[in-house]
Structure 1
Amino acid sequence: MSDGGSGSGWITVTLLADSAYAEALSDALLEAGALSVDIEDADAGTPDEKPQFGEPGMPVAVELWPHSRLHALFERDADHATAMASAAEQAGLTSPPPYTTSQLDEQNWVRITQAQFDPIRVSQRLWIVPSWHVRPDPDAINITLDPGMAFGTGSHPTTRLCLEWLDRVIAGGETVIDYGCGSGILALAAAMLGAARVTGTDIDPHAMDAARYNAERNGATLELLHSSQTIAHTADIVVANILANPLTVLAPLLCSLTRSGGRIALSGILAAQTDMVRTAYRPAFELEVAGEREGWVLLTGTRT
């Protein structure tokens, strides 16, 4: 079955799947002719949302969300109905799951995608600017950063809290560790604000690739290590924007990476989780709330 149209463009097929067959169906759709397939948490933005993260020394979690949403992209004139039937059979399903289709024109796709990401003014001297935008303030520190696979474009409240804090505390010459660096945005900000040595680490190799690419395009020098590798030095500033549970598990390590008299900044923490994280970092730190945005908090302290 075809949509009967002509010209450039694509068809997006959207369907729901549970964790038992979502990945198998994704692979089967690619074999059946889909140009790309992405999987997202169908419960994102609800109380049932399931964040995924890994711990140092452990493999990244591979189990998908209980309820996943798949988006499969096909050429406009592709027989996506036949592809769906073939993929369902290959994935072990008795019939294709219900799905919807929508048309995606090339010009609109690019325009809509880029329109979602405007330059972000962090402070008087710091901006995050997508590559397709003109720099709003050429005299400011402009970090060129496009949306990608790794977490961290500057738009999330926790990232903004950390960026604003780094802008306030970095005077120049500091040693900084960004633990769970994602796209490298916090490490980049630290380096471009004047830190002398910046180390970023993450459990996800895709994040490391993204951080390496972003450092090169911004002309910044970062030391990038997988979290399985040992960081052999302490830092004046340690920043970690992850989630409350892994931050609690990581407390002994992050405390040990902060020199005596050094400072730490932790985010990815909901306001209700503040006491849990503060308790995990005592007695090395007496953490205080240094900022709050949309229900997320930033905890900071000085190493005793």
Structure 2
Amino acid sequence: MQSWTLFGAAFAVGIDVDAQAIASAYQNAALNNIGPDRMQLQLIASENTLSSEGDQTSGVVEGENTLDIQTFTDKDKYDVVIANILLNPLLDNADQIISCAKPGAVIGLSGILSEQVHYIIERYSPFLEGIEVSKMDDWAC
């Protein structure tokens, strides 16, 4: 998870289904002197939620700090929403990803192979205007 506070955001929220990704984000935030007053990290329960397996450095305990995605998306709306996951989760979770965004928000989707872009455009076109695609090697966002 990239902390957008390094790019000028006053506050950033990161979510993941993998407790190790949350733990890594906490460590990266600490290395960059980004405290909880500027960044919130949240483990989201899903059928794919991965346990931290007792990682003492993470501060994340599955179940204790875990929200379901509906509870999270019902809470706040954001100016920028970034989802860096594979094609199928981007397609399956389009409604939830879009529901996190304020009207007029910037939405970035990555983890997509260039040959898969048409699936993303087809799925997200009803929600978004002015879809732009950037490609590097075999990857697109």
TM (norm. structure 2) is 0.74
Kindly indicate whether the alpha-carbon contact (under 8 Å) linking 1:278 and 1:286 is maintained by their aligned counterparts in 2: no
Aligned-partner SS, 1:290 = coil
Asked which structure has the greater CA Rg, the reply is 1
Partner of 2:7: 193
Q: Are the counterparts in 2 of residues 281 and 287 from structure 1 also a CA contact under 8 Å?
A: no
d(CA) in 1 for partners of 2:129 and 2:88? Answer: 18
Give 1:205's aligned residue.
Answer: 19
Map of 1:268 onto structure 2: 111
- Pairing partner for 2:43 from 212, 223, 226: 226
Matches within 5 A, 1:129-148: none
281-290 vs 271-280, greater mean Cα deviation: 281-290
Query: Cα deviations across residues 265-286 of structure 1 (Å, max 9, x unaligned)?
Result: 1011111111111111131113
SS in 1 for 2:102: strand
Q: Mapping of 1:159-170 within 5 angstroms?
A: none
Q: CA deviation at 1:290?
A: 3.3
Paired residues in the alignment total: 112
Deviations 1:157-214 (A, max 9, x none): xxxxxxxxxxxxxxxxxxxxxxxxxxx2x2x2x1111101200011111111111111
Give the distance between the partners of 1:274 and 1:208, measured in 2 at CA. 28
Report matched runs for 1:75-86 at 5 Å.
none
* Secondary structure of 1:288 counterpart: coil
In structure 1, distance between residues paired with 2:33 and 2:23: 15
Where does structure 1 lack aligned partners over 5 or more consecutive residues? Answer: 1-183, 299-304
Q: Does 1:253 align with 2:96?
A: yes
Return structure 1 stretches of 4+ with deviation > 2 angstroms.
286-290
1:289 deviation in Å? 3.5
1:296 offset after TM fit, Å? 0.9
- Counterpart of 2:79 in structure 1 is 236
After TM superposition, give the deviation of residue 262 of structure 1 in Å. Answer: 0.8
The structure with higher relative contact order (CA 8 Å, sep 6+) is: 2
Answer whether contact 1:278 1:287 (CA < 8 A) is retained: no
Which residue does 2:60 correspond to in 1? none
Matched, 1:277 2:94: no
What per-residue deviation string (whole Å, max 9, x for no partner) do you get for residues 38-96 of structure 1? xxxxxxxxxxxxxxxxxxxxxxxxxxxxxxxxxxxxxxxxxxxxxxxxxxxxxxxxxxx
Please tell me the residue identity of whatever aligns with 1:241: N
1:289 has 2:132 as partner: yes
Give the whole-Å Cα distance in 2 for the aligned partners of 1:215 and 1:242. 21
8 Å contact kept, 1:198–1:222? yes
Matches within 5 A, 1:95-174: none
> What do you get for the CA RMSD once the two structures are aligned?
1.4
| Counterparts of 2:27 and 2:140, CA distance in 1 | 29
- Structure 2 residue runs without a partner (length 5+): 46-66
Cα distance, 1:287 vs. partner? 5.7
Alpha carbons of 1:238 and 1:285: their partners in 2 closer, same or farther (altered >3 Å)?
same
